[in-house]
Amino acid sequence: MTSSALPIQDYALLSDEECDVRIVAAKAALGSRCVILGHHYQRDEVFKHADFWGDSLKLSRDAAEADAEYIVFCGVHFMAEVADILSRPDQIAILPDMAAGCSMADMANLIKVQKCWAELAQVIDVESSITPVTYINSAADLKAFCGEHEGTVCTSSNAQKILEWSFSKREKVLFFPDQHLGRNTGYRMGIPLEEMVTWDFEQPLGGLTTKQIKDAKIILWKGFCSVHQVFKPEHIDNFLVRYPETKVIAHPEASFEVCEKADYIGSTETILKIVRNAEPNTRWLVATELNLVNRLHEECKAQGKNVHFMSPTLCMCSTMFRTDPQHLLWILENLVQGIVVNRILVPETIAKQAKHALDNMLSQFV
């Protein structure tokens, strides 16, 4: 055993092929003490080393059920935080590259959400009339905020059930950070667009009038995903001119206008399921991240299915992309030496309230 961590610099110039061989060896040495979770947006070179794959909901359940001492999360920071919150105290959650964040999650922070809550309190009785709901793509202290205020967390695959639960508790929802998931879900539940107002966190009172706030069912935080905002309705129109038989499927982080034109809307796991189960020789236009779409195309082409990325400009999630085989190997070889690098540890007070919000989601509404 060495006493100091093997430095990342020793790994940066290794080829992917060399990393491959050594990752397999390190995994074999660690055995059941280590589990690797991989989000569907991970690049192939990393994705193939995962023990479990999934969308945010599935991976959070996998993390909660994992028995391994080390949970290595090939995803982004909020996902590793969820793994830490939901796992046992003796388990250790690890993020291979600490710079793997989520730009949408960063669009809301505790100070701004607390300011929003205080401003809303000038107009209505927030505690009795608003359920705060955070998309799982958010920092742990925002999940804790929801826990403290008897709110909850949702993912892209359970947002409707979570909103239904939230409305059974209180008449309004404050939904952050993704306006599109909130709007797309609310609209499909029959809530008119004018009853879903957007809270601009740069403006006093979110840029809204007191009447707009009083009349609203959902107050949507003005956040968005930079990857999903590249998809435009005209991409669908143009594609359908060439291939009118195409089925369109979009992640609910895409805009309202794109989702309106889609045949199906769903989480990453749902997108995979629908396309995999579709008839052979079908054509699909998909509005979600590039690595998933490319992998799905490769997987389905033997059945004559064509799976296309919706935007003519190729765009991957650059933060998901940060996890490379070099960082994964660095993590694993340190673990083989008994050294933990890049641990994600949510402070206990935050973790307790955040777990309450996550348990509200996991125990009843999945």
Footprint on this chain of ligand 13P (rule: CB under 6 A):
40, 55-56, 137, 155-156, 225, 251, 253, 267-268
In the bound state with ligand 13P, the residue whose beta carbon lies nearer, of 267 and 326, is 267
Q: Is residue 227 near ligand SF4 by the rule CB under 6 A?
A: yes
In the bound state with ligand SF4, the residue whose beta carbon lies nearer, of 141 and 253, is 253
Query: Using CB distances below 5 to 8 A depending on partner kind, what does residue 103 bind out of ligand SF4, ligand 13P, none?
Result: ligand SF4
Query: Using CB distances below 5 to 8 A depending on partner kind, what does residue 268 bind out of ligand SF4, ligand 13P, none?
Result: ligand 13P
Contacts with ligand SF4 by CB under 6 A: the residue count is 13
Q: Is residue 104 near ligand SF4 by the rule CB under 6 A?
A: yes
**Minimal distance, residue 289 CB to ligand SF4, in Å:** 5
Q: Is residue 319 near ligand SF4 by the rule CB under 6 A?
A: yes
In the bound state with ligand 13P, the residue whose beta carbon lies nearer, of 117 and 321, is 321
Query: Using CB distances below 5 to 8 A depending on partner kind, what does residue 55 bind out of ligand SF4, ligand 13P, none?
Result: ligand 13P
Query: Using CB distances below 5 to 8 A depending on partner kind, what does residue 85 bind out of ligand 13P, ligand SF4, none?
Result: none
What sign results for the dihedral spanned by CA atoms 327, 95, 50, 225? negative
> How open is the CA angle 193-195-197, to the nearest 5 degrees?
85
53 alpha-carbon distance from chain centroid:
13
In the bound state with ligand 13P, the residue whose beta carbon lies nearer, of 56 and 179, is 56
The H-or-E segment that residue 154 falls in is strand 152-154
**Minimal distance, residue 41 CB to ligand 13P, in Å:** 7
Which amino acid, 284? W
CB-count exposure of residue 242 (10 Å: 0-12, 13-18, 19+): exposed
Query: Using CB distances below 5 to 8 A depending on partner kind, what does residue 152 bind out of ligand SF4, ligand 13P, none?
Result: none
Q: What is the CA radius of gyration of the chain?
A: 21
Q: Which residues contact 289 (CB under 8 A, 6 or more apart)?
A: 40, 41, 227, 268, 316, 317, 320
What sign results for the dihedral spanned by CA atoms 57, 159, 197, 119? negative
Cis peptide before 204 (omega within 30 of 0): no
Select the residue interacting with ligand SF4 from 19, 102, 191, 287 (CB under 6 A). 102
Contact 90/67 with Cβ under 8 angstroms? no
**Minimal distance, residue 83 CB to ligand 13P, in Å:** 14
Backbone angles phi, psi at 269, to 5 degrees: -65, -40
In the bound state with ligand 13P, the residue whose beta carbon lies nearer, of 155 and 291, is 155
Sheet holding 264-265, edge to edge: 264-265, 247-250, 283-287, 306-309
Tokens read off for 194: 């004018």
Query: Using CB distances below 5 to 8 A depending on partner kind, what does residue 319 bind out of ligand 13P, ligand SF4, none?
Result: ligand SF4
Helix (H), strand (E) counts: the chain: 16, 14
Chain residues in the site for ligand SF4 (CB under 6 A) = 76, 102-104, 137, 225-227, 253, 289, 317, 319-320
